[in-house]
Amino acid sequence: MQSNPIHSNQISNIDVDFKCILDCDCRSCKSLNEVLQLIINKVCENNVDLNALQLGCLDTPDSLQELIQDLVSRVDCSIAPLGTDPGPGTSLPEDSFLGLDTCNPDLWTCLAGSPLDCLIIKNEAGTQVNNPNIREVVQSIIKRMLAYQKQIKLLCTENTTLKSRLSAIELKLSQIETNCCNTTLVNRINYLESSVSVIQNTCCPQ
């Protein structure tokens, strides 16, 4: 045990290599207190609260070093050949989905069957596959969406035609109601019939 401790204020003229922690506010730091304060400030400046992170499938790290290592361990830098399924935990090449057919639908229609039918995955040759890769799944989904689009357009056209026919029927019905079921018109017809009968009896007796 030291019997005569030296106060930190008495330690000065420290010559150390500050490396990356040196900033413009402490280029002239020479005392121990100044150096310690600089280190403390730098440590706390970018402090990461690991408990506040949503780590998902990552292991719970005890330090930032463990967190970075876990992230690095879960990155798979392998590149699968174009058009193949790289499997879980890997990334597709950037051009994996280039050249997909975005114009031709599959054979699905509104009358194709139950809406619970599963999506049939086919390869580029149009043959059903039991173990499809990601590209084949995406291509099949696009073709089904195009089929939906085609059917929706047909239904919209039919709907427009039916609306036009309905409007024409409503117009004709309105004309019938106005001309044939008008009480004023009925009264006038009855009056004319009565007048004709009076004329016949008065002027043209048999």
**In the prediction, which pLDDT does 183 show?**
66
Would 139 be classed as within a structural domain? yes
> What confidence tens digit (pLDDT) does each residue in 119-132 have?
888 888 888 888 88
User: Hey, what amino acid is at 143?
Assistant: K
Amino acid 90: pLDDT: 54
Separation between Cα atoms, residue 130 and residue 193, nearest integer Å: 84
Confidence at residue 149, expressed as pLDDT on a 0 to 100 scale? 92
Task: State the pLDDT at residue 86.
Answer: 54
Positions in the chain whose pLDDT score sits under 70: 1-15, 17-29, 46, 76-95, 112-117, 179-183, 185, 200, 202-206
User: Residue 131 falls within a domain, yes or no?
Assistant: yes
How many domains does the chain fold into?
2
For residues 41 and 111, state if they share a domain.
no
The token duo for 95 is 């051009």
Q: Which residue has the tokens 């876990």?
A: 70
Give domain status of residue 153, yes or no.
Answer: yes
Closest CA to 133 of 65, 84, 185: 84
pLDDT of residue 130: 85
pLDDT value for 156: 92
Count of other CB atoms within 10 angstroms of residue 14:
11
CB 143 within 8 A of CB 104: yes
Q: How far are the Cα atoms of 68, 70, 89 from residue 73, in angstroms, in the given order?
A: 9, 5, 11
Per-chain mean pLDDT for the chain: 75
**Residue 152: what pLDDT?**
92
The predicted structure's pLDDT at residue 81:
54
Is 175 among the domain residues? yes
170 in a domain, yes or no? yes
Instruction: For residue 3, give every residue at least 6 positions away whose Cβ sits within 8 Å of its Cβ, in sequence order, or none.
Output: none
**pLDDT at residue number 193:** 79
Residue 135: Cβ-neighbour burial (10 angstroms; 0-12, 13-18, 19+): buried
Other Cβ atoms within 10 Å of 17 Cβ, number:
6
d(CA 189, CA 69): 99
Residue 38 lies in a domain: yes
Write out the residue range of the structural domain in which residue 141 sits. Answer: 101-186
DSSP per-residue string spanning 146-169: HHHHHHHHHHHHHHHHHHHHHHHH
32 part of a folded domain: yes
* Residue pair 143/105 in contact by the 8 Å Cβ criterion: yes
Per DSSP, 113 falls in state S
Q: DSSP for 79-92?
A: -PPTTS---TT---
90 is a domain residue: no
